[in-house]
């Protein structure tokens, strides 16, 4: 990666972080993923009040509606409709997707906020 690519990547990361409405925390756990009637357990890698970042074995188009289910650490089990906001293929061949929760309960948002803000 040359210097210009590194600068572009750093700006891209900063732009993404600036666009986020809520902070996120590492969340390396299994998550239920339902899309087009097919259910599978996939891995998540980040979570915040507004959504989750997940790893997928296939590409899912931006704007697709999915259902995510997961356990908040030391908290409730959550089932939420989510919109795929981004999906891109990583160097490892895995698709990384950002999902925005559409109908998450206020109580669950509060539990996620507590998890995100807790000291590790």
pLDDT grade for 112, boundaries at 50, 70 and 90? very high
Q: Which tens digits make up the pLDDT trace of 37-75? A: 999 999 999 999 999 999 999 999 999 999 999 999 889
Q: Which tens digits make up the pLDDT trace of 11-31? A: 455 555 456 677 888 999 999
Q: Based on the structure, what is the number of domains in the chain?
A: 1
- On whether residue 13 sits in a domain, the answer given is no
- On whether residue 16 sits in a domain, the answer given is no
Per-residue tokens: 94: 């895995």
CATH number at residue 29: 2.40.10.220
What pTM does this model have?
0.79
Q: What is the extent of the structural domain holding 81?
A: 23-117
């Amino acid at each position: 990666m040359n210097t210009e690519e590194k600068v572009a990547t750093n700006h891209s990361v900063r732009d993404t972080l600036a666009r986020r409405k809520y902070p996120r925390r590492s969340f390396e756990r299994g998550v239920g993923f339902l899309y087009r009637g097919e259910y599978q357990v996939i891995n998540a890698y980040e979570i915040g009040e507004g959504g989750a970042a997940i790893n997928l074995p296939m590409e899912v188009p931006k704007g697709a509606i999915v259902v995510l289910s997961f356990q908040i650490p030391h908290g409730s089990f959550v089932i939420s409709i989510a919109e795929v906001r981004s999906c891109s293929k990583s160097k490892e061949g895995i698709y990384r997707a950002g999902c925005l929760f559409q109908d998450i309960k206020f109580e669950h948002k509060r539990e996620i906020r507590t998890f995100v803000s807790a000291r590790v």
